[in-house]
Structure 1
Amino acid sequence: MVRPGQQDGRSSLLRGLSLLELFSVQDSELSISEMARRSGIPKSTTHRLVTDLVSWGALELGSRGARLGVRMFELGHLVPTQRTLRELAIPYAHNLNEVTGLTSNLAVRDGTDVVYIEKITSPDLQVPHSRTGGRLPLNCTALGKAILAFSEFGFIENVLAGELTRRTTKSIIDPVVLRRELADVRETKVAFDVEESQLGLFCVAAPIFAHHGQLVGSISVTGGTALSQAQHFAPAVRTTAMALSRALGQRPRTSRPMQVA
């Protein structure tokens, strides 16, 4: 039997979490009035929820309103898979950055997006569209395609059946074309993004595996626009991903992974 107030308690938790989702890079600090307007939660309730979140450390007060607190940063770094992957991968990402002279990135999948968990920036090339903690669609990033190609069959089919995101005029939004490209990625273990996520940039990525061939993420480098340049760096990215996979405990596969028509 649900006791009086229990349902309201769960509702308050979900409402509080929905307030945290309002923050972004562009909106790093929001007033209570703005949070109430965007969430549709009454202002008095929003004020109470913000007070609770500040008390717990999920939010902190700034000059114009509230912003995400340090407690969120601390908890984010405790997520087991991401933490282990990031801790082991940082030296590999730095080495890839030094060898290629390009920005190196490390990402994991969250829904139909990739989330950047590390980024080593090249002083000669700033990549403004990506940041640590940021996200981009799977279908128009090399990091995403490297992950998508080795994801579960059902998940791949759901992505292909859904609406594919267009970031630029060169983003692949035709499921037939994307399916064909994913087949190439499974064959070569390298994915390319040539101006698909941002004009003027290419990205080349490779998947990362852990125990028993479990897919855990991808690693990449980002540079200038030419496909020939991206292909030039493919061996370094693939070799780095393989070395990182071994460090994470991957064992050699005795058979090919799933086949996707």
Structure 2
Amino acid sequence: MANAAPRGRTSRPPAKTPAVKGRDNDAAAQPAASVTSRALALLGTFDSQHSAQTLSAMARRAGLPVATAHRLAGELVAWGGLEKRRGEYRVGQRIWRLGLLAPAQQNIAEVAAPFMQDVLFVTQNVVNLFILDGQEVLLVERMSGTGAGLPFRRVGARLPLHASAAGKIMLAYGPEDLFTSASGGLERLTPRTITNSRVLAAEIEQVRTNGYATTDEEAGPDNYGLAVPVFLPNNQVAAALGVVTKGRPASLGAVVPVLKIAARGIARRLGTEQWPQ
């Protein structure tokens, strides 16, 4: 019995570590989530100032290795999310089509388009429609014509609240805490950009008094903005409707009434539209 196991101990195979419920699924899902976040980071490098980029620029802005960016960009091109032309990448048609389905883009832009055309016809100025997007305003629709000149911004462009007429409208009529969060660090875009929070606060109070906002080369040189609010039936500001001019500011007496009439028309239509929940 020399080979017998010591008393009180039994010879048995090593115990297996019990499987933790969901561990295998979580491990399998982790790489997919990582790939998704990296692909989104790559897409997030595109904006109105970076509509066409080289692979190295995309990788640098996304904080990804070039090899990883190359592999993800190839997959996005195959899917239709990106297009490659002459060594540069652009947002693909598939992303553009998906963007058109967003409620903010689809509903407000479609409702506002006829009224924006009226403003363009009467004023012969480039007409813009902005909505609030975090700490910026997002250009969701634009109307221009041969007599209005070239537009300053593309649809999808974003502007800071303190340096744009539409942004000042949002600061004046938007959420109460918006001014506090937006005035923490006021970036200077031009020598005329307001960077003092007290000066900006006085300007926003004037916007509430006048019912319109203006900019005087604050977002760009030779760029003059004018905007009015578009309200929902509950008095919540839905958008800012405005014009932008080059060379000199738009005539307040001639343009503000046209904008306000159009804004009221958009507001009436928004009140009868069925908004997605």
Q: TM-score range by the shorter chain?
A: 0.7 to 0.9
- Using a 3 Å threshold, how does the CA distance of structure 1 residues 80 and 62 change in structure 2: closer, same or farther? same
Match 1:164 to one of 186, 197, 205: 186
> What is the deviation of 1:242?
1.8
Distance in 1 between residues matched to 2:202 and 2:60, nearest whole Å: 44
Distance in 1 between residues matched to 2:247 and 2:197, nearest whole Å: 24
Distance in 2 between residues matched to 1:227 and 1:45, nearest whole Å: 48
Alignment of 1:215-254 (within 5 A): 215-224=237-246, 226=248, 229-249=251-271
- Name the SS of the counterpart of 2:251 in structure 1: helix
- Using a 3 Å threshold, how does the CA distance of structure 1 residues 10 and 225 change in structure 2: closer, same or farther? same
Distance in 2 between residues matched to 1:228 and 1:93, nearest whole Å: 16
Distance in 1 between residues matched to 2:243 and 2:175, nearest whole Å: 25
> What is the deviation of 1:225?
5.3
Runs of 4+ aligned residues of structure 1 deviating over 4 Å after TM superposition are 224-228
Counterpart in 2 of 1:111?
Answer: 134
Distance in 2 between residues matched to 1:203 and 1:225, nearest whole Å: 11
- Using a 3 Å threshold, how does the CA distance of structure 1 residues 105 and 34 change in structure 2: closer, same or farther? closer
Q: What is the letter of the counterpart of residue 90 of structure 1?
A: A
Please say if residues 126 and 151 of structure 2, whose CA atoms lie closer than 8 Å, have aligned partners that are also in contact. Answer: no
Match 1:181 to one of 172, 196, 203: 203
Please say if residues 48 and 158 of structure 2, whose CA atoms lie closer than 8 Å, have aligned partners that are also in contact. Answer: no
Alignment of 1:1-261 (within 5 A): 1-2=22-23, 3-127=26-150, 129-160=152-183, 162-224=184-246, 226=248, 229-249=251-271
- Using a 3 Å threshold, how does the CA distance of structure 1 residues 39 and 200 change in structure 2: closer, same or farther? closer
Q: What is the letter of the counterpart of residue 92 of structure 1?
A: F
**Bigger-Rg structure (1/2):** 2
Counterpart in 2 of 1:258?
Answer: none
Percent identity over paired residues: 32
> What is the deviation of 1:70?
0.5
- Using a 3 Å threshold, how does the CA distance of structure 1 residues 20 and 74 change in structure 2: closer, same or farther? same
Distance in 1 between residues matched to 2:154 and 2:92, nearest whole Å: 18
Q: TM-score, with normalisation over the residues of structure 1?
A: 0.86
Gapped regions of structure 1 (runs ≥ 5): 251-261
> What is the deviation of 1:212?
1.7
Q: TM-score, with normalisation over the residues of structure 2?
A: 0.81
- Using a 3 Å threshold, how does the CA distance of structure 1 residues 29 and 94 change in structure 2: closer, same or farther? same
- Using a 3 Å threshold, how does the CA distance of structure 1 residues 88 and 178 change in structure 2: closer, same or farther? same
Q: What is the letter of the counterpart of residue 174 of structure 1?
A: N
